[in-house]
Amino acid sequence: MEKKYRIIFHIDLNAFFASCEMAEDESLIKIPLGIGGSSNRGVLTTANYVARKYGVSSGMNVVEAKRLCPSILLLPVNFALYQKYSQIFFNLLSEYSDIIEKGSIDEGYLDMTDMSEEVHPVEIAEEIQKRLLNEFKLPVSIGIAPNMFLAKMASDMKKPLGITVLRKRDLAEKLWPLPIEDMYGIGKKTYPNLKLIGINTIGDLVNYEDHKKLKLVLGNRVKEFIEKAKGTDNRTVDPHRYVEYKSIGTSQTYATDIYEYQTVLTKLVSLTKKVVNRVIKDESVVKTINIQVRYSDFTQINRSKTLDFYTDNFFEIYQIVEQLYDDNQSDLPIRLLGVSVSNIKPNVNNFRQINIFDVSKEVTKEEKVIKMLNNINVTYGNKIIKKGIK
Amino acid sequence: MNFQINKDILLNNLIIAQKALSNKTPNPALQGIKLDVLEDHLIITTSNSDIAIKLVIKDPSLAIKKQGSVLIPGKYFIEIIRKLDGLKVVISSVVDNMIRIEADRSDITLNMMDIDDYPELEFSEKIKSIKINVRTLKTIIRQTAFATSSIENRPILTGVNFKIDGNKLIAIATDSYRLSQKQIELNEVYEPLNIIIPGRSLDELIKVLENNNEMVELHFDNSKILFKYRSLLFQSRLLEGNYPETSKLIPTEFPIIIKFNKENLFTAIERASLLSSRDGNNAIVKLQLRQDNIVEITSNSPEIGKVLEEVYPVDEIIGAPIKIAFSSKYILDALKIFNSSEVTINFTGEIRPFIIKGDYDENMLQLILPVRTE
């Protein structure tokens, strides 16, 4: 029989990128540390808790961070290192539950309902937290709640190294007084509009009566948000969700604004190359291509296009990137460019349906390649050369 | 309004009218069926954003006591008439905007809708029209509409392109992965024409046309087309834009030609597509002409299993061995609409379109694009 209450953990690695560096080199623990921001125009992705005491926070630009904390040590982003620790983190979690959903590189949801029958959930949480800290120097905050949303909110309530239990009966006291921008899922574009219509706290959202007005702000997710704010979230911890939804992307803030169209294209080429290389390394093919453009006035656009086939071909992907950029050009100088791909699947049996409108240009090209390969193989022996694709 | 009519006559007309009834519509009035009771006939009108239907009923069983126009909630009206006992039904408007339906021992009153909310519909019959035999028109639609695109990525491809050149009518549909083309000869020479009719409208149209040798009149302007058949007026919007020029995309020289028994080929491909992990019947099937002139149909899903089918071609084979892969759905769809029992597949290359033709399907071709299996 289905149990009525589930016990969900949300485990969040505190200041993850900085924590990885400190785990590698203990001498960094006591000094203020920031990650990212290779130039003065860059932005910190993370700061450790020593730096945070000076008022430094993630998302802050380098100049501001240096002003607040002149002694701050800035380290470049090192994804390989974070991947390594992320794996350690999830490996350890898998000792406790089979039902784990990756929220992102540094957070995960665990369904602990079964294990909690034998051991009190808070005891398990304490053990996980202690082990991660002692064995790997990784600090985490843990939220314990009856569903994923509340667990996520709970893990945020006490950082670093917190363990927070959020039961439904605690909502009025612990959740509803929180400012609306702290609600998970409410973005920084949305919360100012909520404040405009008088919603300042999560509690305000629960009690808001004018659903029509709310619909203007939240669109068709009104019901979902109200339900969540009331403590209801019917999602189950799904080990496959992260894999399905993940995206591969990269973006860069430039030291000086870009004015020239040609320069933008050069940058887009290099960003696309990076992304495509990761796609190939991942042995994946992708279908959706997304670009991000942030202008000097910090306004930004995100545009995407979904192909009707999967690909890992640079030229096919770049063509869309350029097209997306061209279709959305603006006169404003550009501060940041980003390219990402999603709709990713493993590159096995990637059959590609040929499109009638592309036959002449594409197929002719490809046939030449096939012919050339055949000629080489015929002349120099079988299979001496083949395509670099599985 | 007050009239009496044979129940089955009314029901049969309502079932036709239902094809243009909207379930989901921003305009609730379109969920209604409009009845206009005139001196000696009855008009039933329904419409949605794509099509509009107008039926004129003159039947010996129709006895009109009082004229008038009403708008009746379509879904309930049809269900009530469908379920009624008795041969005759009397329909009348009563006070308080109600409509009363009496038949046998039933007496039903139904709230009416406000007829003033119903949009003005213009069923424009032009002086110039094209006449096509019903059976022929249905065949053209059946053989092309299935190849239209079902996704709105390129809206123009959701329609069938009708072109008239002299006394020739050519209908073309493609979703970019397969193409169907059918040509017929008309009885007269007409002015050139090039329109795109939504595939979905045509799907509904063939459901309401009967199979006989009467003529359908086609009237059209820039934005809509009207099909006139007996007492039925069926109007559809047209798709705006230019249909891609497809004639250059259809190959004309075929180095490899293989003739099959249609049934044998169909069932072999159908079996080969059974073991597929891909969604729907969208299995990838490989066809290989071996040196010994036997055709091998294979499919392989590592997680399920594999299928090998041998098909013996009929007649001599022209050309060299070939290996080609394609989506089984496209070829099965295409084979289904052939009347011929033998079909020829004309190949141009392993990653180029191939064309299916049949001796008894003159002036029709089915083109299919293969898949690359890199």
A365 to chain B, minimum CA–CA distance in Å?
Answer: 11
Q: Please tell me the predicted confidence (pLDDT) of residue A241.
A: 61
Judge whether A34 lies within some domain: yes
Q: What angle do CA B84, B90, B93 make, to 5 degrees?
A: 115
Cβ of B287 under 8 Å from any chain A Cβ? Answer: no
Q: At A57, is the pLDDT very low, low, confident or very high (cuts 50, 70, 90)?
A: confident
Q: What is the DSSP letter of B313?
A: P
B372 to chain A, minimum CA–CA distance in Å?
Answer: 5
Contact B351 A367 (CB under 8 A): yes
* Same-domain status, A258 and A155: no
Judge whether A193 lies within some domain: yes
Cβ of B341 under 8 Å from any chain A Cβ? Answer: no
* Same-domain status, A357 and A210: no
Q: Please tell me the predicted confidence (pLDDT) of residue B278.
A: 58
Residue B281 pLDDT exceeds 60: no
Residue B267 pLDDT exceeds 90: yes
Structure tokens at B1: 């309004």
Judge whether A366 lies within some domain: yes
Give me the helix-helix angle, B134-144 and B199-208, nearest 10°.
140
Cβ of B373 under 8 Å from any chain A Cβ? Answer: yes
A364 to chain B, minimum CA–CA distance in Å?
Answer: 9
Q: Please tell me the predicted confidence (pLDDT) of residue B108.
A: 95
* Same-domain status, A219 and A306: no
Judge whether A129 lies within some domain: yes
Contact A356 B374 (CB under 8 A): no
Please report, as a single letter, which amino acid is at residue A8: I
Q: Please tell me the predicted confidence (pLDDT) of residue A188.
A: 79
Q: How far is CA A212 from CA A144, A197, A215, A218, A220, in A?
A: 34, 11, 5, 10, 11
pLDDT single digits (tens) A281-328: 777 888 899 999 999 888 888 888 888 778 888 888 998 999 899 888
Residue A131 pLDDT exceeds 80: yes
* Same-domain status, A260 and A159: no
Q: Please tell me the predicted confidence (pLDDT) of residue A99.
A: 85
Of A107, A126, A127, A135, the active-site residue reads: A107
Please report, as a single letter, which amino acid is at residue A312: D
Q: Which residue, among B85, B69, B84, B87, has the nearest Cα to B32 in the 3D structure? A: B69
Q: What is the mean pLDDT of residues B295-302?
A: 87
* Same-domain status, A185 and A306: no
Residue A62 pLDDT exceeds 80: yes
* Same-domain status, A224 and A268: no
Residue B93 pLDDT exceeds 50: yes
Report the 3 state secondary structure along A196-222. HCCCCEHHHHHHCCCHHHHHHHHHHHH
Range of the domain at A200: 177-229
A213 to chain B, minimum CA–CA distance in Å?
Answer: 20
Q: What is the mean pLDDT of chain A?
A: 84
Sequence-distant (6+) residues with CB within 8 A of B250 are: B179, B181, B353, B355, B365, B367
Percent of chain B with pLDDT over 70: 97
Q: What is the DSSP letter of B73?
A: E
Residue B19, beta-bridge partner list = none
**What's A319's domain CATH number?**
3.30.1490.100
* Same-domain status, A201 and A270: no
Q: Is the pTM of this model over 0.95?
A: no
Q: Please tell me the predicted confidence (pLDDT) of residue B357.
A: 95
Sequence-distant (6+) residues with CB within 8 A of A87 are: none
- For B178, name the nearest residue in chain A, comparing CA atoms only: A356
Q: What is the mean pLDDT of residues B280-297?
A: 85
Evaluate whether B284 touches B332 at the Cβ level (below 8 Å): no
Evaluate whether A157 touches A164 at the Cβ level (below 8 Å): yes
Residue A366 pLDDT exceeds 80: no
Q: What is the mean pLDDT of residues A119-139?
A: 90
Q: Which residues of B touch A353 (CB under 8 A)?
A: 177, 327, 369, 371
**What's A20's domain CATH number?**
3.30.70.270
Q: Please tell me the predicted confidence (pLDDT) of residue A2.
A: 47
Q: Which residues of A touch B176 (CB under 8 A)?
A: 355-357
* Same-domain status, A143 and A78: yes
Judge whether A240 lies within some domain: no
* Same-domain status, A46 and A132: yes
Residue A389 pLDDT exceeds 70: no
pLDDT single digits (tens) A37-55: 666 677 888 888 888 888 8
pLDDT single digits (tens) B328-370: 999 999 999 999 999 999 999 888 999 999 989 889 999 999 9
- For A347, name the nearest residue in chain B, comparing CA atoms only: B374
Q: Which residue, among B321, B319, B335, has the nearest Cα to B368 in the 3D structure? A: B335
Is A118 among the catalytic positions?
no
Residue B60 has φ and ψ, to the nearest 5°, of -55, -30
pLDDT single digits (tens) B28-45: 899 999 999 999 999 999
Q: At A349, is the pLDDT very low, low, confident or very high (cuts 50, 70, 90)?
A: low
Q: What is the mean pLDDT of residues A214-238?
A: 84
In angstroms, the CA A338 to CA A267 distance is 9
Residue A242 pLDDT exceeds 60: no
Q: Please tell me the predicted confidence (pLDDT) of residue A205.
A: 87
Q: Please tell me the predicted confidence (pLDDT) of residue A381.
A: 66
Domain end residue (candidates: A142, A166, A190) = A166
Helix (H) or strand (E) run with residue B94 in it: strand B88-94
* Same-domain status, A95 and A217: no
Contact B372 A351 (CB under 8 A): yes
* Same-domain status, A190 and A78: no
Q: Please tell me the predicted confidence (pLDDT) of residue B20.
A: 93
Judge whether A239 lies within some domain: no
A25 compared with B126, residue with greater pLDDT: A25
Judge whether A236 lies within some domain: no
* Same-domain status, A3 and A139: yes
Residue A365 pLDDT exceeds 80: no
Q: Which residue, among A339, A57, A59, A111, has the nearest Cα to A237 in the 3D structure? A: A111
Task: Give the number of domains in chain A.
Answer: 3
Residue A378 pLDDT exceeds 80: no
Q: At A66, is the pLDDT very low, low, confident or very high (cuts 50, 70, 90)?
A: confident
In angstroms, the CA A134 to CA B85 distance is 82
Residue A75, beta-bridge partner list = A35
Residue A228 pLDDT exceeds 50: yes
Domain end residue (candidates: A147, A166, A185) = A166
Cβ of A350 under 8 Å from any chain B Cβ? Answer: yes
Cβ of B249 under 8 Å from any chain A Cβ? Answer: yes
Contact A389 B374 (CB under 8 A): yes
Evaluate whether A239 touches A101 at the Cβ level (below 8 Å): yes
Residue B24 pLDDT exceeds 90: no
pLDDT single digits (tens) A324-345: 998 888 888 999 999 999 888 7
Number of residues in chain B: 374
Judge whether A253 lies within some domain: yes
**ipTM for the whole complex:** 0.77
Q: Please tell me the predicted confidence (pLDDT) of residue A350.
A: 62
